[in-house]
Structure 1
Amino acid sequence: MAEHVEDARTRIIDPRPRVKYLQGHVPRAVNLPLSEVYDRETLAIHSEERLPEIFGKVGVDFDSTVALYDSYDGQSAAMLAWLLEYLGHPRVMILSNYIEGWVKHGGQILYRPVPAEPKIFGKKLGRRGRALLNEVLQGGDSKLLDLRSEDEFQGKVSTEPRSGHIPGALSLPWTELIGKELQFLKPQQELRERIGEVGVNLSDRVITYCSNGPRAAIGYVALQQLGFENIQVYDGSFHEWARKPDLPLEQGTIQENPRVRPVAPAASPCVVENLPGMAPAE
């Protein structure tokens, strides 16, 4: 991140709420709170026409590299990174440490807001990375990963009219992917082992979901770090599914965990960048 702070071609984005941004941010970082990409009434992300306008207003275009950072637990950065890739942006990265880690390792913090320099950000959609309701209903040979808590998965708690999980889903709480000591994600070897235990192969088509997207986006980024290439986020998630009374739900912990091949390391499109002088999280 330090080298990108001085690079005018890099647009640094702080996705935290405005009040957190003003309490201290990375130099040159503009503020784009995650809430800005959601429709406040429906809780759905804005349209494919509106999203490029939102990113363009904070200076994102296809000629720039986008660097994101976050506080615990990285949901906002992960969600914006996924959206940018869905819109076709080719160079997106997330700081491997939270901003608290940036400070701990001597990174500079500023307090005045950075004015954005608007750009024209088009879109190059290839339908890559996003699953809509009809694709989840079709199922096929995809593996459906539920990134909510175990209690949400089992139906013990819910913020929706109905509780439980989408039939056939595998439970992988997002907290089992989050790192320790200010690290965004766990080391890759730990991620491989946990995802293998769930029953997911590197060659699988995977659809992640949660309540309305951000935790599912953490799953998307984590799987990318392990070399998964066929991953989609169902951003409508449980919020959309549970509000359709004709759609089935399951409760409890019933899920299959077939024997799987080890997940092999590979390069990933959405880069989780390490701080200068720190070893990669392997």
Structure 2
Amino acid sequence: MQPFVPASWVQDRDVAVVDVREPWEYDSIGHLPGAVNVPFDAFRSDEGEAGKLPPRAEWESLLADAGVGSDAEIVAYDDTQGVFAARFVVTALLLGHDPGRLHVLDGDFSSWQREHETTTDTVDPEAASYESDPDAETPLVDFETVRALLPAIEAGDVTLVDTREDWEFEEGHIPGAVQLDWRELVDEERRGLRPADELRALLADRGIDPKRRAVLYCNTARRVSHTYLVLRQLGYESVDLYEGSLTEWQERGGELVTG
């Protein structure tokens, strides 16, 4: 996988560019040439637990209406250092889109705007055909799986990663979790990922070893999506997503540790 791609990569290829910002930002501030707007709230499920995937039929209709076909190579972006775009990409991945054809712009709209053309021109995409793959393998794990893994987590055989902020972690986290705020992975000035050697050093410092299975969670699956893609970018092969995250964990009576 190459989840994060630079602006030069996007410019040189025929890809479906998806802007996940609010419609007013897309229309008034501008967007990448040819980009279609699929706002974050449009693919955030109103059903079930917070942060869960949208219904499959709604997702298929959303992408088809945006002119994104089943075999499209997709690059998503936001203006929040990639965290909302990452959620779009991971949603596509979990619903069966080819992982090798899913990317996040390394940076965001603000970083693109510094050096590249933007436009406020209306984009009227031609409807496409989009079918998801219900049989695709995904990295999802559920409440029961995470609970069953607690002994292995406590023993250090599996790394459970909490991608929230320090204060959230201190207020309550799953037993055995290590804390890694997703924002530590990005360069505030460049608005994209920090250099790979810095990322590997940071992950090593937190005990997140590429040779061990990692399970990631946050609150509602947005921040964890970004961290998942970063680990895959760095070559981590065994990375799982606890989609329900702490929201589901608490609602189902999972144990919490404070401090």
**TM-score, normalised relative to structure 2:** 0.85
Mapped to 2, the partners of 1:127 and 1:203 lie a distance apart of 21
1:129 matched residue in structure 2: 139
Contact 1:15-1:77 within 8 A present in 2 as well:
yes
Q: Which amino acid aligns with 1:153?
A: F
Stretches (4+) displaced over 3 A? 1-7
1:248 matched residue in structure 2: 255
2:226 matched residue in structure 1: 218
Q: Which amino acid aligns with 2:70?
A: F
Tell me the C-alpha RMSD between the 2 structures. 2.0
Mapped to 2, the partners of 1:18 and 1:33 lie a distance apart of 7
Query: Aligned pair count?
Result: 241
Shift of residue 49, structure 1, vs aligned partner:
4.2
Mapped to 2, the partners of 1:100 and 1:41 lie a distance apart of 32
Give the one of 216, 220, 245 matched to 1:208.
216
Secondary structure of the 2:141 match is coil
Secondary structure of the 2:16 match is strand
* Deviations, residues 101-159 of structure 1 (Å, cap 9, x unaligned): 11111x1111133123222222234332222222222215532110000100010xxxx
Q: Does 1:59 align with 2:67?
A: yes
Q: Does 1:27 align with 2:36?
A: no
Mapped to 2, the partners of 1:237 and 1:3 lie a distance apart of 33
Q: Show the 5 A alignment for 1:23-172.
A: 23-40=29-46, 42=48, 43=50, 44-90=52-98, 91-105=101-115, 107-124=116-133, 125-139=135-149, 140=152, 141-155=157-171, 164-172=172-180
**TM-score, normalised relative to structure 1:** 0.79
1:12 matched residue in structure 2: 17
Secondary structure of the 1:249 match is coil
CA shift in 2, pair 1:99/1:131, >3 Å = same
Shift of residue 60, structure 1, vs aligned partner:
2.1
Structure 2 runs not aligned, ≥5 long: 1-6
1:175 matched residue in structure 2: 183
* Deviations, residues 51-87 of structure 1 (Å, cap 9, x unaligned): 3332232222232210112212321111111122222
Mapped to 2, the partners of 1:35 and 1:58 lie a distance apart of 15
Secondary structure of the 2:74 match is strand
* Deviations, residues 10-57 of structure 1 (Å, cap 9, x unaligned): 210001111211121001000011111122364332134433332232
Q: Which amino acid aligns with 1:146?
A: D
CA shift in 2, pair 1:47/1:138, >3 Å = farther
Shift of residue 213, structure 1, vs aligned partner:
0.9
Mapped to 2, the partners of 1:34 and 1:130 lie a distance apart of 20
* Deviations, residues 204-243 of structure 1 (Å, cap 9, x unaligned): 2212111101110111111112101121222211111122
CA shift in 2, pair 1:2/1:191, >3 Å = closer
Contact 1:85-1:129 within 8 A present in 2 as well:
no
CA shift in 2, pair 1:192/1:236, >3 Å = same
Structure with greater helix percent: 2
Q: Which amino acid aligns with 2:258?
A: Q
**Identity of aligned pairs, percent?**
28
Contact 1:72-1:184 within 8 A present in 2 as well:
no
| 208-217 vs 122-131, greater mean Cα deviation | 122-131
Structure 1 runs not aligned, ≥5 long: 156-163, 253-282
Contact 2:82-2:104 within 8 A present in 1 as well:
no
CA shift in 2, pair 1:78/1:132, >3 Å = same
